[in-house]
Structures are given as C-alpha cells and as structure tokens.
C-alpha cells in the first residue's frame, strides 16, 4: 500500500517548522522518524494534505546533561538513546525500555520524541516517562512551555501538544544510582507489549527510599502506579514487600480486552510483572 498523495515540506529550523504548522493547521501532520506514521498513512487510516518532516532540523537531535536532568532531543533516534552512556548512568530505565522497543531497524529510524508524541498506550516509552517523571518541552507561537509527564498523556493517541505546537525535547530527572527494570510481556519480541511494567527504585541500607513505577497498555494512556510507589517507600527491599506493593498495580487501571488477552488477564499480568520488575530493579534477581 502507498500513502494517499500529500504535499511535503522539510524545514531546516524549528521556527520554519512552526510557521509551516501554523499555515497548514489541521491539514498537516508532523513526520518524525515515521515508524508509526508511515504505516498509518499507508493503510490510509489518515490522509493529511501536508507532511511536515522534522528530519532536517539538527537542533532537535542530541542528548545533553543539564543540571539535575538528562535532556533528550525529540528527534534523537532510539538507537542513539539506547547506546548513550549519560542515559544509561542517570536514567537506566530509559535504556532498558529502548532496548526492548520494536526491532533494530525501527530503532535506527524511530525517534524518542516521535514515539512519545504518538502516545500509543502500548508504546514502550510512556511507562518509563511516567515512572521517571519526565518533563516535556513544547514549542509554540508563544515560545516554549513545559508539561509534566502526569499531564502530558491525555487519552488514546492524544497528548497535551497543541495543534500548532511541536515537541522539542524531553527532560528526564536524573535517577543516578537507582536500579531499574523494564518487564515487557509480548508474544513476538519486536511487537508492542501486551502489558509492560517500568520500575526504578532506590535502595539505601536495605530500605527502599524511592520508587517510580509506570504501566504500559493498562488503560488509554500510560499509567503511573502511585499506589505501588507509596506502598514501597520506607519498606525493606525484600521479596515480601515487593509482592505486597505489586498488589496495588491494578489501582486506577482500565486495561483493554483484545486478541492477545482479556482485561482480567492483564490485571493479573500487571501484578506479576510489577513484582518481577521491582525485585530485578532492586537487584534481588528475577523475583
């Protein structure tokens, strides 16, 4: 299948891209790496009149350290994020999730910001973004604004990015020294998770002193498992406390039923995977 005809523009600066977006409005669609958008266009699920390709804007690519955050440019390919030593050192949960995202070819082409802006509830990066409290930097006519991960994901394939706005970069608060684990349950390695749990924990002197847990494909948006986080902090880093906390992974979820499993099955999976993810993140093995 071939996409329906469209006009194409590839601006070389963010300002040009914003101007093109203002000019073409809702007739336009932004192209990042295209690994989700191109299949959508080819299956004719969407037929925009304009494609605005961000691939020629160098300033949207790259990873840097800035104070207490690691800043990832929206157009940075997954493969670059996955191999970056700064990300591995300060946001290991991102490295762990990127490694399991799709396949090698898709990771070469797909982008960190593109995947998050696409907001597929089964996307691999939403859970880690929520677990780590990522901050999204969005450019519009009025300049830049920041949106917390808790407010970024609005609904199925819908984010806080306005129609005339572009995601510029994602700031990941440093979690240096935290353990992390991305537990992805999937039939075929390169597919979207049936359910996934992103967990990062800080253990000091045998006690959990910090926890971030995000759930993927357990509702119309990635979910932050606050109940699990609350249940953990101050508890001993033991199999018992992880099992007890994992029971709260179902709170606030509304998982789908599809060919891969029922909602009930996913509610079960979320608890099992949370227990495993916490144990592995704390260095207790596979749980």
Partner 1 sequence: MTRINLVVDGMRVADDIEPRMLLVQYLREKLGKTGTVVGCDTSNCGACTVHLDGRSVKSCNVLAVQADGSEVTTIEGLAQNGQLHPVQEAFRECHGLQCGFCTPGMIMQSVDLLKDNPKPTEEEIRLGIEGNLCRCTGYHNIVRAVQHASGQPVAPNEVTA
Under the binding rule (CB under 8 A), the answer on residue 40 touching partner 1 is: no
Nearer to partner 1, 145 or 190 (CB): 190
Nearer to partner 1, 63 or 149 (CB): 63
Under the binding rule (CB under 8 A), the answer on residue 88 touching partner 1 is: no
Nearer to partner 1, 185 or 242 (CB): 185
Of residues 2-31, which lie at the interface with partner 1 (CB under 8 A)? 2-8, 10, 31
Nearer to partner 1, 42 or 145 (CB): 42
What whole-number distance in Å separates Cα of residue 185 and Cα of residue 195? 6
Q: Which of 85, 189, 285, 286 forms a contact with partner 1 (CB under 8 A)?
A: 189
Q: What is the closest distance, in whole angstroms, from the C-beta atom of residue 63 to partner 1 in the complex?
A: 17
Q: What is the closest distance, in whole angstroms, from the C-beta atom of residue 36 to partner 1 in the complex?
A: 10
Give the total of residues touching partner 1 (CB under 8 A): 29
Q: Which of 39, 162, 234, 283 forms a contact with partner 1 (CB under 8 A)?
A: 39
Q: Which residues of 92-105 are buried (b: 16+ CB within 10 A; e: fewer)?
A: bbbbbbbbbbbeee
Q: What is the closest distance, in whole angstroms, from the C-beta atom of residue 31 to partner 1 in the complex?
A: 8
What whole-number distance in Å separates Cα of residue 123 and Cα of residue 101? 8
Q: Which of 14, 19, 38, 147 forms a contact with partner 1 (CB under 8 A)?
A: 38
Q: Which of 34, 62, 227, 252 forms a contact with partner 1 (CB under 8 A)?
A: 34
Q: Which of 86, 106, 147, 243 forms a contact with partner 1 (CB under 8 A)?
A: 106
Residue pair 62/73 in contact (Cβ under 8 Å)? The answer is yes
Under the binding rule (CB under 8 A), the answer on residue 190 touching partner 1 is: yes
Q: Which of 23, 27, 104, 234 forms a contact with partner 1 (CB under 8 A)?
A: 104
What whole-number distance in Å separates Cα of residue 103 and Cα of residue 81? 14
Q: What is the closest distance, in whole angstroms, from the C-beta atom of residue 104 to partner 1 in the complex?
A: 6
Q: Which of 97, 102, 168, 172 forms a contact with partner 1 (CB under 8 A)?
A: 102
Q: Which of 12, 46, 105, 262 forms a contact with partner 1 (CB under 8 A)?
A: 105
Residue pair 212/230 in contact (Cβ under 8 Å)? The answer is no
Give the residues lining the site for partner 1 (CB under 8 A). 1-8, 10, 31, 34-35, 38-39, 41-42, 51, 53, 55, 79, 102-106, 108-109, 189-190
């Amino acid at each position: 299948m071939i996409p329906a005809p469209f006009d194409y523009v590839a601006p070389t600066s963010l300002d040009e891209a914003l101007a093109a977006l203002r000019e073409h409005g809702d007739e336009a669609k932004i192209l990042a790496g295209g690994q989700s958008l191109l299949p959508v266009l080819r299956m004719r699920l969407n037929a925009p009149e304009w494609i605005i390709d961000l691939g020629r804007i160098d300033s949207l690519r790259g990873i840097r350290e800035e104070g207490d955050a690691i800043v990832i440019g929206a157009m940075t390919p997954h493969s670059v994020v996955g191999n970056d030593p700064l990300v591995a050192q300060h946001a290991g949960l991102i490295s762990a999730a990127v490694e399991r995202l799709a396949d090698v070819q898709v990771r070469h082409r797909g982008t960190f910001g593109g995947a998050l802006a696409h907001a597929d509830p089964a996307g691999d990066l939403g859970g880690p973004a929520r677990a780590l409290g990522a901050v999204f930097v969005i450019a519009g006519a009025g300049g830049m604004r920041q949106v917390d991960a808790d407010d970024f994901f609005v609904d199925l394939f819908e984010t806080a990015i306005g129609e005339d706005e572009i995601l510029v970069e994602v700031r990941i608060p440093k979690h240096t020294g935290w353990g992390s684990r991305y537990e992805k349950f999937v039939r075929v390695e390169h597919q979207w998770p049936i359910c996934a749990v992103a967990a990062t924990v800080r253990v000091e002197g045998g006690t959990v002193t910090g926890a971030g847990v995000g759930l993927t494909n357990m509702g119309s948006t990635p979910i932050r498992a606050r109940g699990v986080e609350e249940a953990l902090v101050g508890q001993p880093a033991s199999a018992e406390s992880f099992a007890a906390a994992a029971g709260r992974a179902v709170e606030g979820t509304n998982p789908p039923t599809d060919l891969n499993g029922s909602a009930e099955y996913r509610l079960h999976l979320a608890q099992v995977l949370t227990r495993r993810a916490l144990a592995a993140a704390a260095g207790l093995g596979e749980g």
